[in-house]
Amino acid sequence: MDEWVKERFGLARDRIREIVQENEVKEPFRDFFRRTAGFLGKTAEIYEEKLEQAPVEKLMRWNRELYEDILPANYAESYGNPACAVRKLGEYGQAFTFLYGEVRGAAVFAFEKKLWDLTIVMELFLEVYAAFGEGEIPEVKSVRDILRSYVNDYCQDMILERIEEGLNPDMDFALNIIMHNNLSDVRYLYLYGEYVSSNELETARFLNSLPAEQVEEMARTYTEGYRLGFVNGGKDLSRKKTVNIRYNLGFERMVKAAVLQFKKMGLRPVIYRHATHAVNKRGQLRIGYTGGVANPQYDYDHRQDIALFLDSDFVQRKLRSTQEAYEEFREEAGLLGGPACIETFGEKPFEPESKPEALTLSEEQQKLMVEMNNEMSQIVNRYVRHDEGSFTIIAYPVPEIGEKFPEIFREIVKINTLDYRLYQRIQQTMIDAMNTAEWAEIKGAGDNETDLRIHLYKLEDPSRQAIFENCLADVNIPVGEIFTSPVLTGTSGLLHVKKVYLQGLLFRDLKLEFKDGLVVDYSCGNFDSPEEGRRYIEDNILQHHEKLPMGEFAIGTNTTAYVAAQKYQIGGKMPILIAEKMGPHFAVGDTCYSWAEDTPVKNPDGKECVARDNEISLFRKTDLNKAYYGCHTDITIPYEELGSIRVTDYEGKTISVIEGGRFVLPGTEELNIPLDEA
C-alpha cells in the first residue's frame, strides 16, 4: 500500500506543478486553481525535505507562506473567506471554500509526513480541476457531488486514523519534537507545521527564562491534579497506562517535565493534533495540541462545513465507522486515563462576524447533528469509560495579554497553587450551611437583571450526605468553588450577564430565561437583529438543541483570581476555568457527572455528594437517547454584577451567603481579604 500511495503522490505532485502555468480553465475559476495549486506544490516540496536539517530561516519562511493567505490582513481576498469565494465564484463559492478548507490540511500533513492524507487532498483538488478541463464548466451539483464522494469514500479511513492517534502512544510525532529537540532553541516550534505567531514564540522564550525548578513545579501542579482526580474519585489509576496531553505550542518545556512525571505514575503520553479533515472536526473547537490561530474568523466561517455532506447516510456511516474503530482499539481505549489539558488565554477578544455566504446547517441537519453527537457519545463511553477515568485542566496566559505578561504569568502561577486547605475549610462551612436548604435565590446588582430561584436536592441523611461538592485543586485547577446539580422542577427565572466570553466568543448582554430548569427564551446584544442574536446563541450555547437544562449551579470562591483580573483589567480574557471561580456560575447542558452518575463522590469530610442526577439525566435508566446533550457551558456572574445569594430551608428560614458581592456567611469572611486589599 505504501508504494502505491507513493506512486499516487508522485503523479498528483507532478500534475499540480503543471497547473500553475496552465490557462485551460476559464476565469473566474482559473485564479482559484492556480493559487491553490501553488499552495499544494509548496506542501509537496516540504514533504520531500529533511526538515530536521532545514535552516530556521527556511522553516520560518514556509510557515509564513503556508498561512499568509488567511491572516486578517489578506482574508478579504482569500478563497477561505466564504464571502470572497461567493463574490468571485457565485453559486460555486460555497463548494470551493469547502474545498479550500479541506486542502489547507496539507500544510500539517507535509510536516507530519502523513503521505496518505496529503495525497488524497491533492487528488480531490485534481478531480475538481479535471471537471473544469477543456473549457467546461460543470454544474454546481456536480462539484458538490465530487466533494461528497470524497467524504463518503474516505470517511471510514479518516475516522479510524483519528481514533487510533487518540489512543495509541506509539503515534508519537509531537512527542518526538518535545523530547528530542533542544527546547532552548525555538526552531523546534516550526517543525509541527502549525501556525507560529508571536504568542508561541514569546511563550517558549519566556518559559526558557524560568528556572528548571519552577517549570518542574508548574508541571507537578498539573500532573498531581490529574493523579488526585483518581484518588478523590475513588478510581484506580494503576489500571490506566496512557494519558492524553493537550497543549498549545510554546509550553513544550512544561510538557516535557510533565511527560517524565506521568512516566513515574506508569502513564505514557498520547499527544495528537486538533482535527484537520472536515469529517473529524467539531465546529471551530480545537481538541488536541494546536499552534496559533492564524485567523479566528476563518475558523468560525468554516465551523459548519459539515453542512455540505451531512445527511442520514453520512450519520450512519460515521457511527458505524466509529464503532468499528473503537472495537479495533478496544484494549487501548480501556487503558486511557483521560485528558490532561494546558489551556491558554489572553488573546485579543474575538467577536465573530456572521456571514450568510458560509455553509450553515439546515433545521433538518441540526436535528441530525444532535442525534449523531448523542450516539457518538454513547459509543465513546462504552470504550473510554467516564466512570473509570479522570482529567485535569490548567490555564496560563500568553504574551498577547499585554505588556505586563511576565507579571500576570507569575500571578496566575500563584493562583494555580493557592492553599487548598484554606478553601477546603471555608467551602465546607458554606456546604454545611446549605445542606438543609430547599431553595437558592440569586439576584443581580445594578444593571444586572438576574433573578433566579434554584431548587436544591433534598437529602435523606444529612449526617452522611451533601448537596454540594467541595471542589479543590485537582481536576479543575485552580481551587475555588462548590457546585451541585439542581432539581429542574421549580428552577426558574432570568440569568443575565452583561459581557461574557464562552469558548472564545464574546456575548454581550446575554439573557437566558429558565422555566422548570429548561432554557425557554434567550437573547443577546451582539447584533442589531434580535433574530441574528438568537441564532448566535442557538449555534454556540444551545448547540442546536431546542432546549437545554441547567446542569450545574455553583458558587465561585476564588476572590484572589477576581482581584487579579480587576488589577490587570483582564476579566474579559480569563478562561472559563478561572472565570467560573470568580462568582456564581450556571451551566447549561449536561450535569458535571454525566456518564458517571453512579460513581460515588465524597467530599473531604467523608460525606457523599448525592446531587449527581436531575430529571433528565435519570432517563439514562430507561432511554439513553433522552439523557444527555453532549455539551456543558458555564456562564459566570462576576462579583461586581452580583447582588445576593441567599438560601432558604424547608421551614422558611433564610441564610445569606453573599450580599453586595461580599461573603457574609459566618466562617467565610477570609474570602473578602483579597477584596479589601485590592
pLDDT digits (tens, 9 = 90+) for 472-481: 877 789 999 9
Per residue in 259-272, pLDDT (tens digit) is: 999 999 999 999 99
The length of the chain in residues reads: 678
Structure-derived torsion over alpha carbons of residues 524, 525, 528, 534, reported in degrees to the nearest 10: -10
Three-class secondary structure of residue 184 per DSSP: coil
What is the maximum span of the chain, computed from C-alpha positions, in angstroms? 84
Distance CA 671, CA 162 (A): 45
Which stretches does DSSP call E strand in 590-627? 608-609
Q: What confidence score (pLDDT) does residue 678 get? A: 65
Structure-derived torsion over alpha carbons of residues 241, 246, 250, 255, reported in degrees to the nearest 10: -20
Distance CA 104, CA 481 (A): 42
Distance CA 298, CA 295 (A): 5
pLDDT (mean) for 613-642: 92
Per residue in 253-307, pLDDT (tens digit) is: 999 999 999 999 999 999 999 999 999 999 989 999 999 999 999 999 999 999 9
pLDDT at 671 over 80: yes
Per residue in 35-47, pLDDT (tens digit) is: 999 999 999 999 9
Rounded percentage of the chain residues whose pLDDT exceeds 70:
100
Q: Edge-to-edge strands of the sheet including 487-502?
A: 518-523, 505-515, 487-502, 451-455, 437-444, 642-649, 654-659, 662-663
Single out the residue of 254, 199, 200, 248 nearest to residue 222, CA to CA: 254
**Grid cell at residue 360:** 450553515
pLDDT at 218 over 80: yes
Per residue in 398-416, pLDDT (tens digit) is: 999 999 999 999 999 999 9
Residue 62: pLDDT band (50, 70, 90) is: very high
Amino acid at 82: P
**Grid cell at residue 651:** 421551614
Structure-derived torsion over alpha carbons of residues 119, 122, 126, 127, reported in degrees to the nearest 10: 70
User: CB–CB of 121/106 below 8 Å?
Assistant: yes
* Mean pLDDT over each residue of the chain, to the nearest integer: 95
Distance CA 274, CA 281 (A): 8
**Grid cell at residue 460:** 435523606
Domain boundaries, the chain: 2-138, 173-392, 418-650
Distance CA 43, CA 62 (A): 9
Amino acid at 335: L
Distance CA 541, CA 519 (A): 11
pLDDT (mean) for 383-397: 93
User: CB–CB of 325/164 below 8 Å?
Assistant: yes
Three-class secondary structure of residue 623 per DSSP: coil
Distance CA 672, CA 69 (A): 50
Per residue in 647-664, pLDDT (tens digit) is: 999 999 999 999 999 999
Q: What confidence score (pLDDT) does residue 507 get? A: 92
pLDDT at 432 over 60: yes
Per residue in 330-389, pLDDT (tens digit) is: 999 999 999 999 999 999 888 899 999 999 999 999 999 999 999 999 999 999 998 899
Q: What confidence score (pLDDT) does residue 133 get? A: 86
* Residue at grid coordinates 454544474: 139
Q: What confidence score (pLDDT) does residue 1 get? A: 53
Residue 501: pLDDT band (50, 70, 90) is: confident
Buried b (16+ CB within 10 A) or exposed e, 401-422: beeebeebbebbeebbbbebee
Q: Which residue has the higher pLDDT, 489 or 545?
A: 489
Amino acid at 55: P
